[in-house]
Structure 1
């Protein structure tokens, strides 16, 4: 299994080095390249069981996340349980090809539903130990009054309603997963930890370490005998989602970097991420963690340096570059998170909405700005002509800006404006290799087309 995975990683590395050196803060490339990159990345979501150590098996592609089985003397231990009973049962059925021993314990690396929702299928009606963080589930920080907008933006980010021809993937998951029973197999932890904990289950020595990052209730699991580390969602083979465009409270970037650096100190022989393919080999696994931590820390340091220079959030975000030795690492390609999104989140998380420019203390309404821009252009018709010129020259981001101005004007055909914006959104989507961005563009275009 290891040679096959190494070949796949090598192939991805070649594609990244040839086509995707991230020298700017943009994830826009030519449409054919964007499609090729995303298709190649989907190898990480192929359904299979990977034997990562003599008694450790990881299920990839049964849902977006991974689930793992550790075989002990008289039972097995499960690390994370997928989204719901169906996906969990599918994984368990294939795990049973390697061991029929009963499940003795489940360990949650964090509380996201795609890691906790299928526990009941693994428990099979038995009372078992379920281990989680003492703060489990308190990381979201999003007020329930925002459920409506959060659901809408979740659908957009993950492309949940996209037609097949517009689907690619979700950055760390396939485009389509089994979600109809999401969360229905959740079992609350029977034992919680808030500090490092060592335990032996079925003869297997296990160490569990709280390690906040993507969530405050994150933990990683270390098997000292097998030298296998389960990182949860603090590592996967894509640039980390330091900010999710569906909407999240500030994720402490420094803490995330430190948690990944702590994992690297164990020098694991196997690294099992919360999503995507496990990395096998001590040098490869350890280097990946070191690089990941350094990349996160670099984005933080560059962002705060720009903030201290008085730069606005967009200027800061567009200036962020990874150190050269990290720029072609396949697991840092921006299929999921991006440096620009992360930088803007750091800015807002640490300084709030105000960018320091007094012009923005009392802004004009969008309608007022649009009317003034139209006057400068020589009228609404001329502004529309400028939009069409932008489309012809493939300046699609500028076209979107102009379309937004046009949408606030009264003396223009708004159906034509809407059609024009849809075209610009789809042009942007076709050029995106960042899956959340791509899905958001396509979904928003479809919503406009459907009159939503």
Structure 2
């Protein structure tokens, strides 16, 4: 999002007149202007840097707003979706403050994107093609078939999807759903499927489900094995604890935010294996392009030749996307991504309409071709120039600092860093080729953050000296350096209130300047937790049971292996059989050398114990809906052999309780 990243570039703007107008006690100003959440106002330096951006981009261009509103059938300005327990899953009116000119506390380019993402409702894209936008992070598209609706990407949650389908039925009639298309394996594009079917009064057994090859494995595996860490980091990436205010979360760049409710999935009836594959779905002709390995490990785009309409799925978005996502995921291939876009441009050259899984459509071949070219060249440029600089020995940090898109790719808004950024995407390219090590032996085996912080603080003359230097740097607007200084101090002295307070104020400023929605949320969530403490809420995984029921049992045993407390397990050796009585499936677990192995096989007759359990009950345990202690003595699980060994085995599971610390030790 930012070419270098506006936050990085901002430091180069140091305006002498401005700095001289800001006295050296800038770090002490504005404290009385904190809001009810403790957030501080934008400094004069932040306000100046944000205003300067207004001169650099064509804010007078309103074409995006025209296209975002085109075809509006109806909207609901009071759209609030609640769960069965009364919890708020989606609250569109909470973003009503996003109107008019950008406040000093929001980057004006991100504010513009937030205003566009506020435009919501049911839209007619072309005859027989509709979109529901603003009901969740992603769009739900509806294509009219001969016997019902072909629904594309049924949102994140059952609750938001049901409300979206109900809204469409109010204005388009009570059609059933004849087919579902999952364009790719990210949860905001399939999680709401069961709610959509229920709202449309459609039997899942009667619905054709089309997905890319590998969809089931990819859609579930990421969320199971890497889930605990990714979920915690997603709190930062999406600003989950932040208020929806001009000093809090305003937009993710890709949409407002993910819905947080009940999720599910359906097994596909048809898989898209290759580019050029065609299907006739409820009387509508589809031509598919397999783009797996671009934005998602399993993904397709498609073309409707009779309507000359191209659905870019999430291969294309009205922003620069992530080659690496801040919540943590496998690095994406920039070169392949660019190539897929070029392939789509050639395959679907006759398209007069572009629509996708996020944002608003484009009409007209010339505008579509220009959009595709800019998107393709953005990823290719970042890829090629990152490698060029790496060839010369530049490290990832140096490349991220220096790399900037050329003027030809900075003329509009469609590839701005609202979600991904040139800065962290270049690091993703480097990581993809060279890994985490930058080649400098000083970075091969550094001290951990807490020990490193203690040494830095001592070397700089103690905490008072570090704090003094940080205040001076804050007054000068060198917020990145302040973050470095005070991060060391907070890790060295976690109870230093002055350091934490100033670091939080500093993160406010970095967040306010960020053009990237996720960067803003990361900084502001860090500030929030420095003030309020980290969240100890544990995600209720039971809402995902309708999805993980399809996960191979091996995924859960992989999680058990990853959660094994190696120290406590030292010297422990045992074999356990897990027999799933309703699946006719047995897994043998072997613990030795503080390592847990598992395989699907016949039961080991010499095992310490054999546990017989239903798959459903096993999921309840895995998802925290039932405790192991309760099951051991409930009679719902039969055990042959040593119950003591079974209890010992489960006691070795080192499950995280609440969110781990990020900005403090």
Q: TM-score range by the shorter chain?
A: 0.7 to 0.9
Does residue 318 of the first structure (1) align with residue 390 of the second (2)?
no
Q: Deviations over 1:129-150 (max 9, x none)?
A: 0001120144476584543221
Alignment gaps of 5+ in structure 2: 1-60, 69-101, 535-665
Paired position in structure 1 for 2:113: 41
TM-score w.r.t. the length of structure 2 is 0.61
Alignment of 1:344-383 (within 5 A): 344-366=427-449, 369-374=452-457, 377-383=460-466
1:413 Cα shift? 6.4
Q: Is 1:254 matched with 2:328?
A: no
Asked if 2 retains the 8 angstrom alpha-carbon contact of 1:109 and 1:231, the reply is no
Q: Distance in 2 between matches of 1:136 and 1:225?
A: 27
2:197 is the counterpart of 1:125: no
Question: SS state of the match for residue 381, structure 1?
Answer: helix
Name which of structure 1's ranges 150-159 and 73-82 shifts more when overlaid on structure 2: 73-82
Q: Out of 281, 293, 296, which is 2:364 matched to?
A: 281
Corresponding position of 1:136:
215
Query: What TM-score, normalized by structure 1, do the two folds share?
Result: 0.88
Q: CA RMSD in A?
A: 2.5
Q: Which has the higher contact order (CA 8 A, sep 6+)?
A: 1
C-alpha contact 2:140 2:154 (8 A) present in aligned 1: yes
Structure 2 residue 79 is the aligned partner of structure 1 residue 6? no
Aligned mates of 1:331, 1:430 — CA distance in 2: 21
Give the aligned partner of residue 217 of structure 1.
Answer: 298
Q: How many angstroms does 1:122 deviate by?
A: 3.7
Q: Flag the 1:307–1:121 CA change in 2: closer, same or farther, 3 A.
A: same
Aligned-partner Cα distance in 2 for 1:447–1:286: 44
Aligned to 2:183: 109
Residues 220 and 232 of structure 1 are in contact (CA less than 8 Å); yes or no, is this contact kept in structure 2? yes
Whole-Å Cα distance in 2 between the matches of residues 367 and 78 of structure 1? 51
Match of 1:427 among 483, 491, 509: 509
Contact kept in structure 1, 2:67 and 2:362, CA below 8 Å: no
Summarize deviations over 1:331-382 as a string: whole Å, max 9, x none.
Answer: 1111111011111111112111110112222324445544554455444322
Q: CA deviation at 1:313?
A: 0.5
Query: CA, structure 1 residues 143+280, in 2 after alignment: closer, same or farther (shift >3 Å)?
Result: closer
The answer to whether the Cα contact below 8 Å between 2:289 and 2:300 also exists between their aligned partners in 1 is yes
Question: Structure 1 residues 447, 413: CA separation in 2 closer, same or farther (over 3 Å shift)?
Answer: closer
Contact 2:451–2:492 (Cα < 8 Å) also in 1:
no
Find out whether 1:151 has 2:231 as its counterpart. yes
Q: 1:303 to 1:138 in 2, by over 3 A?
A: farther
Displacement of 1:72: 2.6
* SS state at 1:359 partner: helix
Aligned residue in 2 for 1:206: 286
Residue in 1 aligned with 2:271?
A: 192
> Given the alignment, which residue of 498, 501, 518 partners 1:436?
518
Q: Secondary structure at the residue paired with 1:440?
A: helix
Q: Secondary structure at the match of 2:215?
A: coil
Q: 1:98 aligns with which of 172, 178, 198?
A: 172
The answer as to whether partners of 1:133 and 1:193 remain within 8 angstroms in 2 is yes
Cα distance in 2 between the residues matched to 1:143 and 1:179: 14
Q: Secondary structure, in 3 states, of the residue corresponding to 1:401? A: helix
Residue 447 in structure 1 maps to residue 529 in structure 2: yes
Asked whether the 8 Å contact 2:131–2:140 carries over to 1, the reply is yes
Distance 1:31 1:95 in 2: 35
Q: Which residue, 321, 324, 333 being the options, matches 1:243?
A: 324
Q: Give 1:284 shift.
A: 1.2
The equivalent of 2:582 in structure 1 is none
Please report how far the alpha carbon of residue 312 of structure 1 lies from its aligned counterpart in structure 2 after TM superposition.
Answer: 0.6
**1:35 Cα offset (Å):** 4.3
Contact kept, 8 Å, 2:301 with 2:311, in 1: the verdict is yes
> Which piece of structure 1 moves more, 216-225 or 259-268?
259-268
Q: Distance in 2 between matches of 1:363 and 1:256?
A: 35
Question: 2 CA distance for matches of 1:314 and 1:233?
Answer: 28
SS of the aligned residue for 2:312 comes to strand
- Tell me how many residue pairs correspond in the alignment: 428
d(CA) in 2 for partners of 1:7, 1:435: 18
